[in-house]
Structure 1
Amino acid sequence: MPPPVAGLYVDPEFPACVSSLVGRGNTPLSPLSDRITWLRPQEISPSPHLFPENSRDALGKQGILGDCWFICACSALLKSQPLLHQVFPADQHTWEHQGYTGRFTCRFWRFGRWVEVTIDDRLPCLGHKLCFSHCQDQEAFWLPLLEKAYAKLHGCYEALWAGQVADALVDLTGGMVERWSFEFAEESFREQMLSKMLDLKERCAMSCSVLRSIEGSGDPGQFHAFTITDIQHGKMKSGQSLLLFRVHNPWGRNCWEGSWQKSGTKWALMDHTESSRFLSQIQDGEFWVEKEEFFQEFNEVTLSFPVIEKDHIQSIWTGSLLSHTQQIYGSWVIGQNAGGSRNNTSFSDNPKFWLRVREPSEMYVTLMQRPKVGLGAPDNIHNSRKLQHEISNNVTPIAVGLHIWKVEKRRLNIQKIIQTPPVAGTSSHSYDRQLHLRCELLPGYHLIIPSTFLRDTEGDFLLRVLTNGPISLSEITSNKPVERASEDVIPGIWETLELKGQWKKNNSAGGSRNFPSYHLNPAIPFCVPTNSQLVKVTLRQHNQQTLCHAIGFHVYLAPADGSLCLLSQEPCASCIPHSYSLEVSKTCILASGQYIVVPSTYLPDQECKFSIFISTKTERKPIKSEETLGKILKEVSVISLMK
């Protein structure tokens, strides 16, 4: 490593050493970390500058770090000069200025507020070249400096190895993001989204991702993110019109082998003038994709809302300026308010909030989980020494949901309200770090309940409301009177029995009813009393979220003679298909009597301990909801080794 340049700032919190590169050391970056040196821009380039004159030359290229998701999100800053200066303040002394000190400050929107991260400008290199992100103009250093600040925010560079474009867009804009999956979408939905993308292409950052292995001519890479840099109409010699997407690969080199690649055969179907116009617009790493190929090769599009002014976001659906914003922090705490989804009888225990709408408004209600990162979001990160050096953003976030009811505040009956359909709600609980509901609400009071899918799941969250009309947001606290349900509305008392068991290989892990070994599964008896009809059976496996087995159960009426033949007797209640979830449950109406519940994994010989909860209650009016669990998010990270 060359000696440091005398008199320049050295960041003591994020030193130029291996600890700032890797944390757990479980990525391909670890074997290379000892070979990486740290150089300042003037030691890398003869004429370093922050930004190139041509904004197209500011596009990012990915190095040996798998952070294509972050590089794609940085395109949002190139769409808006005010937003760029919000994240990368313009009044900083650079290498051309007399006041240059080697110190730079960047800002990120973290969990409800903008925080500052200050770094020195020593950057990781291999062979005197940047080994992580860099720009098309390799003498422009805004992107590698921003990447370093983002790495410091997360504890180390390795913490950026894989992630969601949507999360980085929120961190860079302070706004909202939508993800549109095209994989199983109907043609009408695709056309609607295309029209919206054409309308917003100049104002919004757009990214497309590959989240599966692809077979075919394109094969742009699995679990990889790309930037959509333009969408244009073209015309064939035959007069037929077509739509072409200009896509940028963060690898910074051509990898596209589709029919519209630079040397593709379809360009001959255009007039020479028309084809030359398209081909002259692409640079290293860019390629054109026809609409049909686009839907075939890419799984989803991520799009950010335009930020018109500081913290003023524009709706992508109506164009309204969401100039009224309120936010409030909350937590789910075990034993207090971690009530779980509407599938659980404890749903009403969740945190509750008043939203008062004063005039008809377009409304966006967002729910953000606290980012699971090393540093968190202290008020002054540049003065914090809490570098925990963990790749904690690899921890799977919890599944969360959000529901809103229109209510009469003075006559609120929580138990009665939650049994009615909400005016807006998430269709399933999602693992997204930030989700939002778009709705048009009438004046009056509304009840907002954020929830986790599983009860007794702890976490911190930020509830944020953005709208074009005046609102007020407040929490319903214990000292505010809330009328509880009377006995004539919901009579009876829930009683819950917990039973424990275990699936053991070659013993009691018989698998589902598809297998002849099903009869080996534990058969757990229980009784429905004469004064009870509603029964809820919950199966919880004691396993890590990432190692979940697919689980389910069947309930059988116990025969009087005790001779139960599981494969020949039809169950009277079932919780299937088997689900890769820590907990599954089923509420059913059973006549009084003796029953047997048989929990199972889908495949035989899968070992795990479990608990069965049998809850009974008399004549309870069931909540008309069956909440579902969304898919685990697939992160993107693909690397390109520098040659």
Structure 2
Amino acid sequence: MPFLLCLKRKKSPGPLGRSIFQKHPPLAQQNYQALLDMCLKSNRLFTDDTFPAHISSIGTGALLKKLPRNLQWKRPHALHRSPVFYAANRKQLDLCQGLVENCWFLAALQALTFHQDIFAAVVPQNQSFERKYAGIFHFRFWHFGEWVDVVVDDRLPVNEAGELIFVSSVYKNVFWGALLEKAYAKLYGSYEDLQIGQVSEALVDFTGGVNIRIKLAAAPPDLWDILTRATYSRSLMGCQTHLGTTKVLKNGLVAGHAYTVTGIRKVTCQYGPENLVRLRNPWGKIEWKGDWSDRMSLQDFKIHFVDLMICKLTPDLMSKEDGKKWMYSLKRGRWVKGSTAGGSLGFCNGTFWMNPQYWLNVLPVEDSKKSLGSCNVVISLMQKHSSKHRNRAPHLFIGFSLYKVDLQYQESNRKLLPAFFTQHQPVNKHQVFLDEREVTHDFQLEPCVYVIVPSTLEPQQEAEFILRVFSRKHVLREMGGNTSFTLSKEIVDRYEGKIWEDFFTKYFEQNPEINAVQLQRILNNVSWRNFQSFHLSFSLDACQGILALLDLNTSGTLSIQEFRVLWKRLLFYLEVFQKRNTSRSGKLDLVELHAAVQETGISLSNEVCNLMAIRYGDPHLKISFESFVCFMLRVEIMGEAFRNLTQDGRGIYLQESEVLKKICLQPQKWQKSCRNSSFSLSNCSSR
């Protein structure tokens, strides 16, 4: 079993308690340009009802106790006679922290101001308090895999003296920082939701980059070289001091505080060369009192700071291959209780295989400076908040395992089963699970096929996640997303026995074609031999559905040939059903269902399995044998229809997983479309 390390700062959170099919609430997208035009046309100032000038936008907890008595919300024109949104003067970009304890956010924001092109992407520059002013502003953030535009009005909370109580500028007439903080608070629920965080989180939200975290107590020998490459490659950097009982230390540093790394310099003194790191306190005051004034030596930096966070727009920092083109892949997934929330390998071996699995083919690159036997690969796993309020949903402990797979598994798209994980060790034997938003690791991998298994530390914990992979060249896909419908010869031979010859041949001699009522009578009266007994019952509705699926000539009846297809599948599905129905209840729960689908030789995405439970399950999402048969038959037949429609290689423009999803949601519509002779491929196009 691999060594399992859990870096724990607080008690591990339990299951979030949400319904397994509850979606993360989507961020309300407001059209900035349309709202601006509407306000200008009606000659009124914008009022944002989605994030109102109300105490609810500030929060509900401890932050409220810090607020001034007569809190007011005012627009910049009421606070200064000549307000300015943004000034290009470098000194006017300096910000000061307010009542919110969000030094991590301010430290990242200060780093952003050193890169004008990145800054302009987050803070659109064509906004002002003069030309086309309507009290509306917008900002852009990278939010869990996509860039979102966040709109706010310019009503800001102030005290009786008209002073901003949250972020403000050193120059009191500059308001971009206060408005950006408001937009960020709206993105994450409230101002109070910005109280706790990591510099690394905000750096990623401003850039969409990938983070490298260096523990300075165990810093690599080439730390100065890493800082140098980071500086010249325009990376954004922040750092964190040690926690302490004293807030401001004698040396001028603030305990448990985030700082911005604003530059580095090598100088020569009488004792020889000295490597210096320049830092900025987001408070705008209280600086390092040790040697070198607002700079400090690299040695002091390693002593007095815990973490160094470097956010790269491309992950070539550690590989020393600056300027090379990198590939980037992103996959979205979910850990679902009872289905794909398998937990870590060290916590529960039996369900680990149920976690989402991703097939990664690392390919060699000819122009790489490194040997073809080694490729730099960065893998990042980010969990998504289950609540729109950032700090109301504690982070789960998350991590991932990386496996190199043998040749026999390399071409298969089926999920790896439990036996594989008992026989193979992960590449990252010392797995680390962190209760942080993002876990990132840098690997040196030989070109080969690997499988990434993201998981929570404990099983049955639910969350959404995004998986990102960076390398010079690779292919990434989710395993279990496509289907394979072949029945082996062994299974076919097994169900061509005496039962068929003795009973059904005689029956069909008297009834060449059977309808749904006759099908129901056969299925409910046949002797299901060689299987453990529980009551099998098929409703007329189910039999009508089965008949519709197998009635190739649309006669409303089944011929002996059509029934023969059904019978073989029924026996096969019953064998699978009983094998996986370990509770012997006659119904499959979500865990048993997932295993049963795998047992049939069909690989379905986790999402389709969940839809299956909704569409065919009872109120408790349990699946009877009747429902199991109906779904599996539909999957097989629609899969065949899909392949028939794409034989020319240019047909349907939906992926097969998308087709299967539509089958679950609108089966009758798709069944009719696939049977209709005038079926048009253009109707299915999603181009």
TM-score computed with the length of structure 1 as normaliser: 0.61
Offset at residue 472 of structure 1 (A) = 3.6
Structure 2 counterparts to residues 169-568 of structure 1, below 5 A: 169-183=203-217, 185=218, 189-202=219-232, 203-213=234-244, 217-218=250-251, 220-236=253-269, 238-261=270-293, 287-305=294-312, 307=313, 315-318=317-320, 319-321=322-324, 323-343=326-346, 344-346=348-350, 347-360=352-365, 361-374=375-388, 390=389, 392-393=390-391, 395-407=393-405, 408=407, 409-410=410-411, 414-418=417-421, 419-424=423-428, 427-477=431-481, 479=483
Aligned-residue offset at 1:394: 5.3
Q: Any idea what the Cα deviations from partners look like across 1:491-515, whole Å, max 9, x if unmatched? A: xxxxxxxxxxxxxxxxxxxxxxxxx
In structure 2, relative to structure 1, the CA distance for the partners of 1:15 and 1:207 (3 Å cut) is same
Corresponding residue number in structure 1 for 2:169: 135
Q: Aligned to 2:431, what secondary structure does the other structure show?
A: coil
The within-5 A match list for 1:76-225 is 76-92=111-127, 94-97=128-131, 99-126=132-159, 127-183=161-217, 185=218, 189-202=219-232, 203-213=234-244, 217-218=250-251, 220-225=253-258
SS in 2 for 1:201: helix
1:296–1:325 Cα change, 3 Å: closer
User: What does residue 524 of structure 2 align with?
Assistant: none
Distance in 2 between the 1:43 and 1:206 partners? 36
- Alignment CA distance shift 1:314-1:142 (3 Å): farther
Which structure 2 segments of 5+ residues have no match?
Answer: 1-39, 366-374, 488-687
Q: What is the alpha-carbon distance in structure 2 between the residues aligned to residue 62 and residue 223 of structure 1?
A: 15
Please say if residues 362 and 468 of structure 1, whose CA atoms lie closer than 8 Å, have aligned partners that are also in contact: yes
Q: Verify the 8 A CA contact 1:320 1:468 in the aligned structure 2.
A: no
The alignment partner of 1:130 has SS state of coil
1:640 paired residue number:
none
Per-residue displacement from partner, 1:143-175 (whole Å, max 9, x unpaired)?
Answer: 111100001111211111121111111111111
Q: CA deviation at 1:400?
A: 1.1
Deviation, 1:442, is: 4.3
2:319 maps to amino acid: W
Q: Deviations over 1:454-474 (max 9, x none)?
A: 122221111122222252423
Equivalence for 1:491:
none
Change (3 A) 1:328 1:345: same
CA distance in 2, matches of 1:214, 1:295: 20
2:391 partner letter: N
The structure whose RCO (Cα within 8 Å, separation 6+) is larger is 1
- The one-letter amino acid of 1:291's match is L
Give the 3 Å change call, closer, same or farther, for CA 198–46 of structure 1 in structure 2.
farther
- Whole-Å Cα distance in 2 between the matches of residues 480 and 171 of structure 1? 40
Q: Counterpart of 1:556?
A: none
State the distance in 2 between where 1:426 and 1:172 align.
31
How far residue 255 of structure 1 moved from its aligned partner, in angstroms, is 4.3
Separation in structure 1 between the aligned mates of residue 330 and residue 429 of structure 2, nearest angstrom: 18
Give the secondary-structure state (helix, strand or coil) at the position aligned to 1:229: strand
How far residue 416 of structure 1 moved from its aligned partner, in angstroms, is 4.6
Partners of 1:84 and 1:36 lie apart in 2 by 31
Q: Deviations over 1:334-364 (max 9, x none)?
A: 2222221111222112111212334345322
The count of aligned residue pairs is 425
Deviates more, 1:344-353 or 1:149-158: 344-353
The percent of aligned pairs where both chains have the same amino acid is 30
User: In structure 1, what residue type is equivalent to 2:59?
Assistant: V
Does structure 2 conserve the Cα–Cα contact (< 8 Å) formed by 1:401 and 1:426? no
* Shift in alpha-carbon separation, 1:235–1:362, aligned structure 2, 3 A: closer
Instruction: For 1:434 and 1:241, locate their aligned partners in 2 and report how far apart those are by CA, in whole Å.
Output: 37
Determine helix, strand or coil for the equivalent of 1:227. Answer: strand
Paired residue secondary structure (1:147) = helix
Letter in 1 for 2:94: L
Please identify which structure carries the higher strand content.
Answer: 1
| Counterpart amino acid of residue 52 in structure 1 | A
CA distance in structure 2 between the aligned counterparts of 1:452 and 1:480, rounded to whole angstroms: 29
For 1:304 and 1:39, locate their aligned partners in 2 and report how far apart those are by CA, in whole Å.
35
Deviations 1:89-133 (A, max 9, x none): 2333x1131x11111111111111111110011122222122211
Rg larger in structure: 2
1:20 correspondence with 2:57:
yes
Q: Aligned letter for 2:379?
A: V
Q: State which of 42, 47, 50 in structure 2 corresponds to 1:10.
A: 47
Task: Tell me if the contact between 2:92 and 2:171 (Cα under 8 Å) persists in the aligned partners.
Answer: yes
Counterpart CA distance in 1 for 2:328 and 2:119 is 22
Give yes or no for contact 1:424–1:437 (8 Å, CA) kept in 2. no
Relative to structure 1, is the Cα distance of residues 401 and 314 closer, same or farther in structure 2, using a 3 angstrom cutoff?
same
